[in-house]
Structure formats: C-alpha cells, structure tokens
Structure 1
C-alpha cells in the first residue's frame, strides 16, 4: 500500500505508505469517523457540532472544529503549512468533506464490491459479497463515546452491512452454497434478534444445509422472543422459511410476435435449429438477404421452442437496415428489464450498468431471446446473457463473424427456397387444389419470383384476392414485365402488386415511407393521408390483403424494409415534393397535438404552450384520462423517439422543442433521464435555430429539469436559472413559477434549506399571481416540508393545511395524499403523535389504489414510526411490514433497510421519520 489509506469499517484507522498513523482519541477521532462515514459529501458544520457536543455546544464550537480539522490535515500531510488545505480534507464554509476513492477507503471498496455482486450471477455474487464483508473489522462507532454511537451517520452504515449480509445469504441459497453463510448468518442474527427476514434466512440456510432440527429450534426461539419481549406475533416469513424456495417468483414475459399460420418450407434449416435449441445457453444467427424469410423462420422456430424455455421470451426489432438509426442497445435493455419486472425508476442510466443488471436477471433463468434485424455485433453484445441456459436467436443481413468468434454463435445461412418449398408456400396460401391444377404456371411463377419467400407471399396474396384469375395469366403478366428480378429480389413482383392497387391505396403505400419506423397505428395513418378513420381502414385492409403491409400485432402495421425502400422510390417519382412535405407535416402535427392532450391528461403541472392549430386533414387521437394517456405513450414511445429525430433532422424546429415539452413527464415516469436530457438538448438546439426566447425558455427548463434528475447539479442550476431569466423577460408567469419551483427542488435535494425556502416562497407567490391553484398547493406543501426540515414545524402547520384544503377543493387525490403526509410529518415533529397517525392514515387511504405505490410505502414507514413513538408496537410492526412488502416490488434495498431499522427501533422509542411525500 502506498499513499494514504483509510479504514472506517470498524474503529477508524489511517495508513501512510504502509505505516499506521495514530489518530488522536476523543473529538478528532469522532470527526474523522464522521467525515469518512459520509465520504465524498459535505458534512454540514451544524451536524459536526451536534455530533461532537449535542446540546452542550460551547460558544467556541466552530473554532474548536477548525482546530480539529487542522490537526487532521497535518496528521495526513505533515508537510502542509498551517493555512494550506491539502489533498484529503476540504471545507467550503458550510461544512467539511473527505475526498477519497474506493482505492483509499474501505467503505467505498465495500460498496463497489456489493454493487458488482448485485449485478453478477449467484455463484460469483457469493464470492464478491464475501470479499465485501471481509473488509469489516467491527461496528463503525464501537470505539467512539457512547453518546455518539447512535448518530444516524454511523448506524446507517451498520444497517448497510446488514442489508449486504441478507443479499449474501440470498445469493448463497440460490447457488446451493448454504454452508458458506451459516457462520455469518448466526453471528449477525445474534446481533439482530428481532429482524424476522434475517432470522428467516438463517432458518432457510439451516434447512438447505441439512440441519432441519436446528432450523425448527431456531424458529421456536424467534417466535417466543417476539411474543415475550415485544408482544407481537411473527409474520409469515418465519412460517414459510422451513419450506419456501430460495428464489422469488418474477415476471414471465411472452413477447414473441404472432407465428405465420401458413408457414411452409425451410425443413432442413428448421430441423437443424430445433436440434440446436435442445442444448440451451447458445446463440444462433440466421442470416441472409432481405426478403429471404429470416424473421418468418425465426418467429416460427421461437414458437416451436418456447415450451423448452419456461421463464419466458423476449423480442426486439433492432431495425438494423431500415431508415433512420438502428435501435440503441440501451433502449432495448430498458424494455427488457421492465419486462423482467424491474420498475422503470430502478433501471440504471449507463449502458454497462443496464447490461450487467440484465445479465444478472438472466443468469438464474432459462429464456428464449429473439433479436430481429440486427445490423452489427456491437448492437447485439450488450443483449447477450452472461450465463445460464437461455437461447438467443438473431436475424441479420450480415454474417456477424465477430459474434461467431467471440461468443460461439452458430451461423445459419438462408438462400432461396427450393422449388418444392416454393410450391408448398403457394399451396399453404392458395390451397392444394388450385396449385395442383396449373403445375406449369406455378413453376413459372416460382422462377419469376426468384424463389424469394417475400415475393412469393406477395404473389400469393394477389392471387388470393382474385380467385377467378388463372395462375397462368398471372405468370404471363409477370413475363411481360420490366425484366428478371434484380439482386435484392422481388421488385417486379412488388411493382405488379402495386399496379393492382386502387389509386388511394397506392398513394398510402408511397406515403407510409414518410412515417418513422418501427410501426404505425390507424389514427396516424388517417392523418398521414388526410382521410377519415373508416376510409383509412379500408385502404389498410387493401394493403394487408396484398401482403404489402404487415399487421404485426392488432392495430399496428409494419412495412418490410424492402417494401419501404421500393415505396420510397415510388414516392420520389410520383409525389411532388410539396405533397410529401405536407404529408410529413401532418404526421408531425398528429403526434404533437396528441402528445399535448396526453400530457394534459397525465399531469396537472404542464406549463401552457400555445400550439398552432393542426393542419387540414390532421385528426389527433382522443385521450380521455390519465390511464389512456399512459397507454398511448407506452404504445407509441418507439415511434416518438424516431419522430423527434426526424423533426430535428428535417428542420422542423418548432415541432422538435414542443414535442420535448409534451413528452418530458412521460420520460420521467420511465426513469429515462438520460434520454430526457438528450431530447432536451435537441430542443435547446432547435430553439436556438428559431431564435425564439419562448422556445429557449422552455427548452432550457426541460434540460435543467433532466440534469436535476441525473444529479448533475451545476448544469441543472445553469439551465434552470437561464430559463428563469428568459421566462421573466417574456412575462410568462407560468414559466417563472415553474423555474423557481424546480430550483427550489434542487436546493432542497442538496439540503440547502434556507435557499430552498426562498425559492419555494418565490414560486408560491408566482403561482398566486397567475391564479394557479395546483401550483399554489404545491408551493405551500413545499414550504411546509422545508420549514419542518429547518426545525420550525409550528410555522409549517399553516402552509400544510392550506395546501390540503386546495387539493381537496380540486379533488386532486394524489396532491391531497401528499399534503396529508406533510401534515403528519409536521405533527410528528411537534410531538403530536396521535394527530400524525390520523394524517398518515388519511394519506395511505388516498394512495392505496394509486399507481404511486412508492409513496404509499414511504407513508407506511412514517406511520410505523409514529405508532412506535405512541407505544403501539404491534401497529408499528404491521405498518413496517406492509411498507417493506411494497418496497420489495421496486426497491429491495430500501425494504431491507426498513426491516432492519424496524427491528432495532422496536427496542427504543427515538425513531424519527426521514422524508415526506411531495406533490411533484
């Protein structure tokens, strides 16, 4: 070891160049422990004084702290002068922080190892968890004075260790290594005798290790302890611990597209791939030219194999060869993780973290994953499992040699189907009798179609739509066409089918190329061609009957890449540029105005923006309520991403920034903060091109809001303050109020309470000036929360009550629930526990059926702490149990912290709630 290193996982220790330094006992040791326990964060001077002296703060406390800081700096770097700062310990006027890394502090190494373990398969996770726990030398504050040991900065680290012990135990049980954790579990269980989940894990480990009698004995002791010492009955964990499996039930996705009812041919390839699928845990790449039938074969194969992969199927169209950019692997991972049961707000931002979490979920599953239309290996690698028995099927026009080399992918090259298989394809669509009646015509058709499955399907559709036509006549018409099929295959067949369309259907086929992939719904089609829904439906049916458009799932239509390319050439030749531009504008108007209505239904905090009326022929979708708004966004989000890029690339700057304005709250819901920031940057660029200060104000507010979510505080502050100046200059009261509100949120999250209060009060006044009742209630609730955090709960009562009344008058259930929680939080800090309990119960009732289950979990936690303060231990225990059960669904780490804190708090009555729900 070289340089300076620190240890805080046990009595604080410091080394320099392998030699241990002596830290002065007493307050210098306490101060160093406190700073290391919150490494990287500024510890406020008020907190330092409180830890060192409590209520006995001397008048010279700040000077004494400064002297202790000087002592520590000279200990770490004796060469420093008296006024120099040095490398490790910094102050900014409000407090002090230690600038350390995982290489110099055991706490950060512990966290890094635990994070790596959480993303690993159970077997390697066991080793990583064991390595992390081996860094602990005892309780963090064990060597400190008794009066400081209960400080939250120290007890929270011990709870963090407890959480990792439980995760370690769970991983060991899943990997069949129960014997490795028995000693750790026994020791930890002795220190936490009232932690039921921990005791249940110990019992499970004993059962798995073959010690059934000991497991029964331990369970009996825990039950007696809970009843005799706490007066509570055990929860279901203990009853199930003797029998339940180690791994929890999880989401089972089934995402495969519909199989083709008329599938035919490919007998050799199908047999090879079916045998390949028996092995599991492998990768197959089905490759070949466009239109050769790769996707059809892959989907049919996947349906045949699905029963062998009981944990479900995942599907993604990677759009590797269509117009626009291929789908980024990060987008696919977010979709897959949601399908696997990961809540949107728990999906990591970074690609590598998403991929690691995805691999850890797949490691204990046997799944089938179909990655369709891949462009290159780099697009696929993050989507491959790291371990386990899952099968990956890939389709691509490229052979992907890198995957063959690095991942052992087995390539299956598709060529034209045989003449017999081509006849079989026609028979499945037209019937055996019709095909058998004209063998020479069928042979001619097969050759003219180049034995290309897509061309054969189009030809069969043409024949099926005209049952009176002889196949010989169709073949003769092909023979008199422009010439033989070219290298991409099927162009003559496409032109022949296109020529058979009605003029309106032909126009729709051409204009579909102006809509971004991957698919399109009927309402957007109606706007694209400026038609009514009924007329649009008739034209869509004509195209699907001709196999020129595919209904991939009910109500969503896909244009094959080859057909899109062909239709684009037709549009260039047949449709004047002005007509194409008008159609593209109708598409943008359709989505922008639908998104505006959806956003208005979804949130009450949208800043009004005056949009021009949609162009002639545009019919936005009707969206009636919040649930319909969410369903619309979930359905359209892949299209909306591409539409934003299209708007930016084609110079539709107004549509670009206004689409970002209308979609940001939906992206929040998904937790896609990095994507929200990327789109907001596009809005900023578009607003700059327009030189429109209104657009610039909205765009910078969107970008500041996204940066706030990403914890990029300095950038968030810059953009929010710029938006505030721009809105002020325009006299936009809504924008001013919103910008002030978000700067207040930023300051509150940073713990800068005085600044947060100032901005929240200014936001409140701004909302009053524009008579925005929802904004006023939000501002009042924020002011009440901040006052309570500042130790002024008596002053907080009035704004909290005002917020509650406004939300009730507006019948805003979410806002009312948040206000009840804030009021309960305030009463709790006033020592009015019965009033707090009543408030929390009202809030829980309002949130019980809300999609915001995380808020219900927060309030249940508050209720448990209030019950404990009131001496109602059984009620506290039940509230915490319900809170942890909800957290289990979206934040298991917090669930474990609540269980650990509740087990400790049941032995004392000093608990204080941590945070209240906010109306955001």
Structure 2
C-alpha cells in the first residue's frame, strides 16, 4: 500500500494501490490496493509509427545444399494460392532444421513485408519450454501493442494477435517445438501468411488441424558433409587429404551440428591436419569417457544418419578438449541450467571472472561452435551440447564449486532485476535487502521505460533463475527475485510466468519461515490471479497474506492486504464489504503515517459508498478526499476524485451539480495528457447534457468521447457510438482527438 501510484499522463481510469506499482489493462476495474495503481493507460492500442517487426535471425553463413528440401518448401508456399501456409521441418537434434528454416526465411523475406517473427520454443529442454502465452506476449509487443493492452488470458492474446495480422502478410518461425499444443495458438490463419515450425517430433495434429505440410530433414550425404567441413574450416587441404576429411565427415554422421564443431576445431587449431583430427575423433568414438563422464558408444557408425547423438558427442568432445581451461570451465558451468540466453554479465557471474574476460570466453566457445548466437552479444547452448557439458560438470567440478557458481548466477539475476525494478516503480516499499544498497546510488537506468525494456530482455533468464533458486534451495533468493519481478509483470503481463514464479515464491517464503515475505508473495500472486479473472484464488491469497502480516506484526503489509481485499470486493460488486476493508486499512496506514495512502483510501471509501447508493455520504466522503489530494498536492488524483464526485452526483439525480466537478476534472486531465480519462469524463458530461435535454451538447461530448476512446482502443467506444447512432442519423466520423 502506501501511495506509490504514478503521476502524470499515464494515469488510469481507476487508481488502486496494492503491493507497489501500477497494474495496466482493461481487465481490472476496481479502485486501489496497497501500493499498486491499476490502470488503463492513456495510450493507443498500437503505438503509432511502430515499424513491421523484423525479429528473424540471419541465415547461417555456411549453409550447405538442402536444395531438394528447400524446393519442396517453396513449392508448398507457392501452392498455397493465397491461403495461410504452415510447414513443419521434422528431424533429429543437430540435423540442421533451424538453419534450413532461416535459409527459407531469408529467401522469402520480400514476400512478407508486413513482418517476420521468430521465437525459440526450447522444445529440447524439458522444464524450460516456452509457453504459448509468453510467446504471444512477445509477438504482440513486437507488433507495437502497448503492454497495458496485452490481455492476461492466452485465448484473448491469440485473438488479438490474429486480429492484428489479419490483413498482413507475415512470416512466423517457431523453432524447436515440443508439441502441437505449443504451436497452434501461434498460427496466424491469415491468407498469404507463412508459419514455419521446426521440431524433433512429427506433430500430426498440425497436419490435421492446420493443414501443415511436413518436410523431413535428414543428415547430409557424404559429399555435402565434406563440403560443409571445408566451408567451416576454410581449409583447402580438404582437397589434398580427401580420405581423412571424408572419414571425419562419416564420424559426424552427416549432422551439421557435429560437422560445424569439427570444422571449427580445424579452423582454430594450430598445426592440426585432417589425419590428426580423424584420429582424435576415432579415439573419442572408441573411448569416449573423459574423467568418468559419459560419451558416445559404438565404433562402426560410419553411415550418415546412424548414431547421430554419438557423432555429436564425439565432435563436441574433440572441440572441448582443445579449449583453454577457462573456456572449458565456462562451458561446464553455463551448462548447469538451461539458460534461454547467455550474455557476458551472466557468464561473468557463473565463472567468477570480470565481464571483459567473460566476453573472451564466450567468443572462444562460439568460435569452437559450442555456443550458438542468440542475438546481439547473446548466445545459447544447443541442448545436445548442454547435456554433454552438464555431464562433464558433474564429473569434473566439485559440488561446492557447482553450488557457488549456481548461487552467484542467480544472485546476479536478482541484482539485475532489483536495479531495474527500482527504476520502473521508484518509491515503492520493499522487503528484499538488496534495495537498501540502491538508496544512495545512481539509478541503473535513465528512466522507467528503459528499465522495463531491460527487464523484458532478461525475462526468460529471470524466470529460469526463480526456478533454479527453488530447485537448489536458495529460498531467500527465490522470493526476492519474485518481489523484483513485480514491476515487469504489472506493466507487461506474462501472466503464466507471473503465476508460476510466484507460486514458487510463496513456497520459498514459507520454507524461510519469513511471514513478511510470505505476505508479500501472496499479495503479488493474488494480483496475478486477479488479472486472469480467477477471483476465488485471488481472494484466498489475499486472506492468507493478511493473516501472515498480522502474525508478523507488519502494518505496512497488513494494510496492503486489507486494501487489496477491498478492491477485490469492489470488483465483486460488494461495496459494503469493500468499505469495511478500506476503513480497516486506515488503522495500519495511520500507524505508518502515509498521507497519500490515507487520501487514496478516502477516495475508495467514497466509491464504495456510491456503490451502496449512499449518495449523500459518498459526496461528503469524496469532498474530503479531494481536499486531501489538493493538500498533498496530487493534481491527477484530485481529478480522479472530481470524476468520482461527478459520477456520484449523476447517479444521485443531480446532473446540474455534477457539471462543475466534471468540467474541472476535464481541465486537469487535459493538462495531464490523460487521454483515457478525458474520454471517460466526456461520456459523463454527455450524460449531464442528456439529463438537461441539451441534445446538441450531448452529441458534442459523445463525439469527443468517441475520439478519445478511438485513439486509445478503449472498449468503451462501442457504447458511445451506439448512443450516437441513436442520437443522430450517421455515426461519428473518425478523426483526431479534440483538444
């Protein structure tokens, strides 16, 4: 609680405080809880000027052949005859499905000028697969949707995604799918669009429901395998020692992942020839167990397509054996968790080195083809490489070193999240001790927007860090990470991640026997449920949070929980119970001396009284709230109170008295640039004019409201235009918001 709502033009139709922060979106309708402001932002649905998304990575530099498969894919697109096309590339891990999909995307890019979207679904990493909801959120953001308008539920996200691309020619690449259920919500269904899926599984449901064309991707034949080796190694000596190069290619079983690792070994080694590399790979094939680790089995898998994982293991081990000690250790430690992306800062934390040294280690691993690029200065481990490296970590690293590296990596994630969260919602109260160190420090980010962008970039790593902390018993870090993710989830949604991480946060706080942390986690979890419309579960968490904070004698947390319950009651249309909650929340709020929180509670009480039909009491209550807001001062929230006052007077049958506070509210909101609120106020002023029988004024205010609602994509537009249709012969013309 305790008055942390934002000021300025991004204020909402409904202001609430809950646990710190601002909750965006049309799915929240009730007042204020704790320290969170629930709001519909005064912004358009799609940010004007957003360019078509171009998130497709570039095609690999050493792509080789696949002419037959590419021709089949292009033919499938050409045969679509304007219908949406879905193609699925199926093959074993390391066979080159992603490379072929990227090559196809590069070849067809000009056919899809309205956007190219890409996401790694991480189907090869059990427990770390991307959810459809998280991918949809990323796609909606890339398409320019204001985070405030991204729905909480996956079904609504999918509907909005398909609506936005309905008239666009877009290409969507979904890499490494685990199941059809993971893919179907992401298929556009737009005529002329293309969805490309890669998977190690057949996914017959995509064929049945989406008419997908399946193309099987097998290993390269020996000629193309040797050609790829030559291209990666840059070694013309392939032509001089074809027998040994061909033997290396056979050891790689035609798998591009293994071939690239072997070729990179030749490219980076000094005084290494193909005969020596063949002997090394043969040795690893026959005796693959380094320092007690597991490796490939069998000695006669020479034909392409046989013993694929063994081929990858042998090639990876040859490259691993040639690494510097620091790079080899980095590979082992980075393989301890399935990090979605790896940057220099994360690697520095895992390896206990400075960032400059970490960059060098990552460059060495990428040069050896043991890391794949995943964006600018970002890398990822192919899951086959990660599984092998994790076995080496188990056999070569001491348990205490593994634990220290894991905790240091999670702690880096926590520091990163805290530094950004403190900029997203400055002034919010916290329990985590790492916020204390920031009080006298320079902000880590210049503004809230850049801080939120930083959190969004690291979101997948941060949520993986919560899981890692829970799995490894770092309970103190688990709940603190959840606290630091509050601003990200409030502003940008990702509700599935919100619920998953905060359930872990509650469990961690309970194991810590920290009642204050438990209360904090339960309140934050409650608002994840609230955003999903799961009110019973939200209520259970709020009640449990209140009990935990009472037992902890933590008035600030208790006030947050009680006020949260009041807002829930308002949403449930139980205003009398809401009023009792707000009155109860006054006691701890007064105890900690937060005047802003008390002013907000007065406003909420006025709204609750109006909901009960106690208009005279509500009017007096709102007048007191207005005086308190003016004394703070807080012009935006003063205008919110004036709007509530005008609405109360309208409901009481006093439209003439309502006109003045609504006019004053409109003037303040115009100065604040609050477009959403200006639309709401204009609609209320139209009600005043209608009650007075002034048809011309009603039409003028309705047109003003329609212009504002159209600019923001507000669902209230339908009601306003329906009334206009009744009032005049033709609906209002689209146009800019009136000034």
Q: Where do 5+ consecutive residues of structure 2 fail to align?
A: 1-47, 287-298, 302-306, 650-655, 730-739
TM-superposed CA distance for 1:510, in Å, is: 0.6
Please give the root-mean-square deviation of Cα atoms over the aligned residues, in Å.
3.6
Q: Which residue of 1 aligns with 2:99?
A: 296
For residues 866 and 252 of structure 1, do their structure 2 counterparts lie closer, same or farther at Cα, with a shift above 3 Å needed? farther
Contact kept, 8 Å, 1:277 with 1:305, in 2: the verdict is no
Which residue of the other structure, out of 662, 683, 688, is the alignment partner of 1:836? 662
Is 1:653 the counterpart of 2:472? The answer is no
1:366·1:390 contact (CA, 8 Å) conserved in 2? Answer: yes
Q: Name the counterpart of 1:716.
A: 538
Report the CA distance shift for 1:322/1:714 in structure 2 as closer, same or farther (over 3 A).
Answer: closer
Match of 2:454 in 1: 632
Note the 1:181-200 alignment, pairs <5 A.
none
Which residue of 594, 598, 604 maps to 1:772? 594
Structure 2 equivalent of residue 163 of structure 1: none
Q: Secondary structure of 1:520's partner?
A: coil
More displaced 10-residue stretch of structure 1: 269-278 or 336-345: 336-345
1:278 has 2:78 as partner: yes
Q: TM-score, normalised by structure 1?
A: 0.63
Aligned to 1:394: 197
> What is the DSSP-based 3-state SS (H/G/I as helix, E as strand, rest coil) of the residue aligned with 2:316?
helix
The answer on whether the counterparts of 2:575 and 2:608 sit within 8 Å (CA) in structure 1 is: yes
Matches within 5 A, 1:213-252: 252=52
2:249 pairs with one of 446, 454, 460: 446
* Shift in CA distance, 677/285, structure 1 to aligned 2, threshold 3 Å: closer
1:822 and 2:644 aligned: no
Greater shift in the superposed pair: 307-316 or 290-299:
307-316
How far apart are 1:251 and its partner, in Å?
A: 7.7
* Match in the other structure for 1:561: 383
Q: Rg: which structure is higher?
A: 1
* In structure 2, distance between residues paired with 1:509 and 1:527: 13
Structure 2 residue 493 is the aligned partner of structure 1 residue 667: no
Deviation at 1:320, TM superposition (A): 1.2
User: Which residue does 1:584 correspond to in 2?
Assistant: 406
In the alignment, the residues of structure 2 paired with residue 465 and residue 432 of structure 1 have an alpha-carbon distance, to the nearest angstrom, of 11
Is 2:482–2:505's contact at 8 Å kept on the other side of the alignment?
A: yes
Q: Distance in 2 between the 1:294 and 1:711 partners?
A: 39
Q: Which residue of 2 aligns with 1:254?
A: 54
Return 5+ residue gaps in structure 1 as ranges.
1-247, 809-815, 908-920
- Asked if structure 1 preserves the Cα contact closer than 8 Å seen for 2:234 and 2:267, the reply is no
What secondary structure sits across from 2:716 in the alignment? helix
**1:626: Cα distance to partner?**
1.4
After TM superposition, give the deviation of residue 266 of structure 1 in Å: 1.4
2-structure distance, mates of 1:606, 1:466: 54
* Contact 2:89 2:217 survives alignment (8 Å): yes
1:311 aligned partner: 114
CA distance in 2, matches of 1:610, 1:343: 30
Shift of 1:509: 0.6
Q: What is the correspondence of 1:65-84 to structure 2 with a 5 Å cutoff?
A: none
The answer as to 2:519 corresponding to 1:688 is: no
Query: Is 1:759 matched with 2:585?
Result: no
Q: How many residues align?
A: 643
Deviation at 1:753, TM superposition (A): 3.3
* Residue 880 of structure 1: aligned partner: 705
Q: So what's the TM-score if we normalise by structure 2? A: 0.78
**Distance in structure 1 (CA, Å) of the matches to 2:540 and 2:222:** 67
Tell whether the 8 Å contact from 2:523 to 2:542 is kept in structure 1 after alignment.
yes
1:265 touches 1:424 (CA, 8 Å); kept in 2? no
Decide whether aligned partners of structure 1 residues 318 and 621 sit closer, same or farther in structure 2, where only a CA change above 3 A counts: farther
Distance, in Å, in 2 between the alignment partners of 1:526 and 1:704 is 35
| Other structure's SS at 2:374 match | strand
Alignment equivalent of 2:356, drawn from 531, 534, 551: 534
Q: Residues 767 and 676 from structure 1, CA distance in 2 versus in 1: closer, same or farther, beyond 3 angstroms?
A: same
Cα separation, partners in 2 of 1:339 and 1:432, compared to 1, 3 Å: same
* 3-state SS of paired residue (1:258): coil
State whether residues 594 and 620 of structure 1, in contact with CA within 8 Å, keep that contact through their aligned partners in structure 2.
Answer: no
Measured after TM superposition, the shift of residue 569 of structure 1 is 1.0
Find the partner of 2:265 among 462, 470, 481. Answer: 462
CA distance 1:290–1:800, shift in 2 (3 Å) = same
The residue number in structure 2 matching 1:140 is: none
Q: Does the CA-based 8 Å contact 1:787-1:796 persist in structure 2?
A: no
Task: Describe the SS at the equivalent of 1:843.
Answer: helix
Q: Distance in 2 between matches of 1:712 and 1:397?
A: 36
- Measure, in 1, the Cα distance between the counterparts of 2:575 and 2:206: 54
Q: Is the 8 A contact 2:678 2:708 kept in 1?
A: yes
For residue 132 of structure 2, the aligned residue among 329, 332, 348 is 329
Identify the match of residue 845 of structure 1 among 661, 671, 674.
Answer: 671
- Aligned residue for 1:631, secondary structure, equals helix
Q: What is the deviation of 1:499?
A: 1.6
After superposition, where does 1:882-901 map in structure 2 within 5 Å? 882-888=707-713, 891=714, 893-901=715-723
Distance 1:663 1:381 in 2: 29
Q: Deviations over 1:83-111 (max 9, x none)?
A: xxxxxxxxxxxxxxxxxxxxxxxxxxxxx
- Seen in structure 2, the aligned counterparts of structure 1 residues 710 and 412 have a Cα distance that, compared at 3 Å, is closer
